[in-house]
């Protein structure tokens, strides 16, 4: 067995590296042969030394951890190990919608209408859950994803669709705030008010979807 990182995870391979951290496919190990595939996201050590980056990284976990719905990716754990901040989340065996569309185009096909409707329906149910989420006292969290795009809609091999990556979501339980007028997300899918830098609500996610 390979060395465990973060105390309990065996990294299999790196999936991606971005501006803030790295993403790995790993196996969570436990007693009595327990094993579970997970996705690990870690904050680059050099960024942990800079003001604000830790809060931004932990914000994604803070927002997503309040959500419990079949059509939203699950967060299992957030922690710190040997000076590295990380979060462990559900591994979704499948492909994102961008990959599905690209494969269909390569084969000169269209995504079948009934399949497209099911994907949008599942994503809409996940977003609706996020938009209606409340804290322990019943206060609305006002979560808006703000980056709904094919890359952030995962379709599992069994057909279930899940919304992922709440990294730039707006929510009342975020520790950090993005600057007024800062453009976050992918322009091709943005609602007009988001492009103009105005305040966005749940309708912006619906527009993007």
Secondary structure of 72-133 in the HEC alphabet? ECCEEEEEEECCEEEEEEECCCEEEHHHHHHHHHHCCCCCCHHHHHHHHHHHHHHHHHHHCC
Q: Which two tokens stand for residue 104?
A: 């269909």
Q: Which two tokens stand for residue 12?
A: 């299999």
What values do phi and psi take at 48, rounded to 5? -65, -20
Taken as a whole, the chain contains a residue count of: 209
Name the catalytic one among 147, 157, 199, 205.
Answer: 147
Q: Residue 165 contacts by C-beta under 8 Å, 6 or more apart in sequence? A: 60, 73, 147, 151, 152
Catalytic residue status for 158? no
Active site members? 147
């Amino acid at each position: 067995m390979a060395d465990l990182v973060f105390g309990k995870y065996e990294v299999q391979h790196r999936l991606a590296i971005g501006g803030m951290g790295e993403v790995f496919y790993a196996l969570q190990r436990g007693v009595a042969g327990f094993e579970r595939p997970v996705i690990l996201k870690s904050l680059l050590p050099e960024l942990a030394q800079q003001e604000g980056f830790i809060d931004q990284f932990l914000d994604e976990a803070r927002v997503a951890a309040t959500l419990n719905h079949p059509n939203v990716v699950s967060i299992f754990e957030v922690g710190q190990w040997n000076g590295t901040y990380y979060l462990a989340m559900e591994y979704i065996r499948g492909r994102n919608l961008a990959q599905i569309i690209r494969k269909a185009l390569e084969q000169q096909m269209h995504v079948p209408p009934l399949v497209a409707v099911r994907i949008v329906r599942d994503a809409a149910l996940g977003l609706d859950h996020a938009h209606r989420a409340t804290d322990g006292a019943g206060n609305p969290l006002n979560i808006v994803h703000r980056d709904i795009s094919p890359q952030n809609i995962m379709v599992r091999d069994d057909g279930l669709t899940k919304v992922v990556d709440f990294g730039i979501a707006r929510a009342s339980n975020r520790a950090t705030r993005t600057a007024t007028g800062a453009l976050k997300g992918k322009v091709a899918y943005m609602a007009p008010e988001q492009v103009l830098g105005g305040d966005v609500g749940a309708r912006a996610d619906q527009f993007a979807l």
